[in-house]
């Protein structure tokens, strides 16, 4: 038998088989039915139509993988019209039928595949007897699977894919331009780092970001020990805030922004700021208040610090204020300068390495006015009666000098309101001067008086003596009284002189 020839036996068998198949096809019936019950676990349903009830009819279009681990599953809804094929008593669903217009579908809104904003005015037109709720916006070549609330999965011509639950809850991927659009009235994204959510409730919008860098201790399975948190609206402190947290949820750093533009920050730990290159410029308008419970350390390692204040500069220190200046210090006060010390003030000035009387270690130059020292105030209420305030000037250097110099028409005035002997020239507290100073004019008057008496009562004696001696006339006693009265007037009542 040549190649391609068919034996008469095989030809006869094929003819008989074809005849049987045509006979079976001719005996099949198609019925319009409605799904009455659905069993999703078995993948089967019960249908009824034209007076017949068929049970355990497989779902249409259902496929399973050979391993039973996957497949395509479509669960029909109760009341769905279907076309059922019955052959040899076995029923199968050929296809799902559209909802007839007469079932009230014309009063229900139709949904658009392409819409991105809600629109409740999409109603069907009367251009077909079985329009039902077919989606709007479809074009030739598009594929769409749509649910009863307008949710759909669509693959559209032109490289567009959409997953849509509502106009404000959908994902759209556009091939041209490599664009991905997320449209969510309430949007939440969960990653291995943490989660991000956008929420809208009652016209109030809120943003929340929470995450961590360690999946073992912070954001692993079952853990929500957020390390970083950012909020806008909602539970934020103010309008927006940013926080760093520890594993116990305690704040380590927070910065909060208020809707009036104010900023509140909280920091636990050190703060380091480094600027490299251009100078950093900070411009602040309005008041600035800083509350610090720890130390405030500023160190300028290279360069200068220049502060310009257009108004007042006030500083209040409740403890000790220490200032160390390695170079020189210069203060230029263009107006008044006042300093009040509650207890004592001490100045230690090293001066020149080899001091001389003309080398000034401390100098005061007053171009106009006077230098006034007021020591002790007996009217102050907190000073006891036994308190003594003094003004003391010492020079302990060998050859040291104390100079008091007045101008040509001025004078040097040293006085005391204390009793006799309160002004000392020489001596000290261990060697009190006892000699009173002598008044010059009184001494001159007394010496003049004595010279007059000597001149009037001293004469040359006759020979052989030829010397001066008292006259033979005795001195009038009143002159003796006058001299005796003038002697006490020579003594100063305030000045004592030490040896």
Report the pLDDT value the prediction gives residue 108, as an integer from 0 to 100: 54
Residue 311 has phi, psi (to 5 degrees) of: -120, -125
Q: Give the pLDDT confidence of 393-409 residue by residue, as tens digits.
A: 888 877 778 888 888 78
- Least confident window among 96-110, 274-288, 360-374: 96-110
Q: Give the pLDDT confidence of 292-309 residue by residue, as tens digits.
A: 777 887 777 777 888 888
What the block records as the tokens of 128 is: 């077909």
Report the pLDDT value the prediction gives residue 121, as an integer from 0 to 100: 44
Span 33-53, average pLDDT: 91
Nearest residue to 76 (alpha-carbon basis) of 30, 40, 33 = 40
Q: What is the pTM of this model?
A: 0.49
In the predicted model, is pLDDT for residue 112 greater than 70? no
Report the pLDDT value the prediction gives residue 37, as an integer from 0 to 100: 93
Identify the top-confidence range among 54-63, 400-409, 448-457, 487-496: 54-63
* Residue predicted with more confidence, 433 or 60: 60
**Mean pLDDT, rounded, of the chain:** 77
Domain ranges of the chain: 8-97, 105-185, 186-269, 438-497
- Per CATH, the number for 8-97 is 2.40.50
| pLDDT more than 90, % of the chain | 16
Report the pLDDT value the prediction gives residue 92, as an integer from 0 to 100: 92
Label each residue of the chain as H, E or C: CCCCCCCHHHHHHHHHHHHHHHHHHHHCEEEEEEEEEEECCCCEEEEEECCEEEEEEECCCCEECCCCCCEECCCCCCCCEEEEEEECCEEEEEEECCCCHHHCHHHCCCCECCCCCCCCCCCCCCCCCCCCCCCECCCCCCEEEECCCCCEEEEECCCEEEEEEECCEEEEEECCCCEEEEEECCEEEECCCEEEEEEEECCEEEEEEEECCCCCCCCCCCCCCCCEEEEECCCCCCCEEEEEECCCCCEEEEEEECCCCCEEEEECCCCCCCCCCCCCCCCCCCCCCCCCCCCCCCCCCCCCCCCCCCCCCCCCCCCCCCCCCCCCCCCCCCCCCCCCCCCCCCCCCCCCCCCCCCCCCCCCCCCCCCCCCCCCCCCCCCCCCCCCCCCCCCCCCCCCCCCCCCCCCCCCCCCCCCCCCCEEECCCCCCCCCEEEECHHHHHHHHHHHHHHHHHHEEECCCCCCCEEECCCCCCHHHHHHHHHHCHHHEEEEEEECC
Confidence bin at 4 (pLDDT 50/70/90) = very low
Distance CA 173, CA 157 (A): 12
In the predicted model, is pLDDT for residue 487 greater than 70? yes
Span 110-123, average pLDDT: 53
In the predicted model, is pLDDT for residue 162 greater than 70? yes
């Amino acid at each position: 038998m040549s190649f391609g020839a068919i034996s008469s036996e095989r030809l006869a068998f094929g003819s008989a088989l074809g005849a049987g198949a045509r006979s079976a096809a001719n005996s099949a019936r198609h019925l319009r039915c409605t799904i009455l019950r659905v069993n999703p676990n078995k993948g089967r349903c019960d249908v009824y139509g034209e007076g017949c009830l068929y049970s355990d009819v497989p779902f249409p279009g259902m496929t399973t993988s050979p391993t039973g681990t996957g497949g395509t599953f479509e669960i029909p809804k109760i009341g769905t019209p279907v076309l059922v094929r019955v052959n040899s008593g076995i029923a199968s669903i050929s296809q799902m039928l559209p909802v007839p217009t007469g079932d009230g579908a014309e009063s229900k809104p139709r949904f658009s595949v392409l819409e991105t904003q809600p629109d409740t005015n999409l109603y069907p037109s009367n251009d077909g007897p079985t329009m039902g709720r077919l989606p709007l916006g479809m074009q030739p070549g598009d594929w769409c699977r749509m649910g009863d609330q307008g949710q759909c999965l669509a693959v559209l011509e032109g490289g567009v894919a959409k997953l849509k639950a509502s106009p404000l809850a959908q994902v759209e991927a556009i091939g041209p331009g490599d664009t991905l659009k997320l449209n969510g009235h309430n949007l939440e994204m969960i990653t291995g780092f943490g989660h991000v959510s956008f929420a809208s409730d009652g016209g109030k919008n809120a943003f929340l970001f929470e995450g961590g860098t360690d999946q073992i201790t912070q954001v692993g399975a079952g853990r929500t020990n957020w390390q970083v948190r950012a909020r806008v609206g909602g539970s934020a402190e103010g309008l927006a805030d940013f926080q760093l947290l520890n594993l116990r949820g305690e704040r380590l750093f927070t910065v909060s922004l208020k809707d009036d533009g104010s900023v509140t920050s909280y920091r636990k730990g050190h703060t380091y700021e480094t600027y490299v290159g251009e100078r950093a410029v900070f411009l602040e308008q309005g008041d600035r208040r800083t509350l610090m419970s720890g130390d405030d350390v500023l160190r300028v390692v290279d360069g200068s610090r220049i502060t310009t204040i257009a108004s007042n500069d006030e500083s209040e220190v409740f403890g000790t204020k220490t200032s160390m200046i390695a170079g020189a210090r210069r203060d230029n006060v263009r107006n008044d300068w006042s300093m009040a010390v509650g207890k004592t003030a001490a100045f230690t000035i090293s001066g020149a390495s080899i001091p001389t009387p003309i080398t000034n270690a401390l100098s005061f130059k007053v171009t106009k006015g006077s230098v006034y020292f007021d020591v002790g105030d007996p009217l102050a209420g907190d000073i006891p009666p036994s308190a003594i305030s003094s003004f003391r000037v010492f020079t302990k250097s060998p050859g040291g000098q104390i100079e008091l110099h007045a101008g040509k028409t001025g004078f040097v005035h040293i006085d005391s309101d204390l009793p006799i002997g309160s002004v000392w020239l020489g001596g000290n507290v261990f060697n009190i001067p006892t000699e009173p100073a002598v008044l010059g004019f009184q001494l001159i008057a007394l010496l003049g008086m004595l010279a007059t008496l000597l001149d009037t009562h001293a004469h040359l004696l006759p020979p052989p003596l030829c010397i001066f001696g008292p006259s033979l006339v005795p001195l009038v006693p009143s002159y003796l009284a006058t001299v005796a009265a003038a002697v006490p007037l020579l003594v100063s009542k305030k000045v004592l002189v030490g040896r």
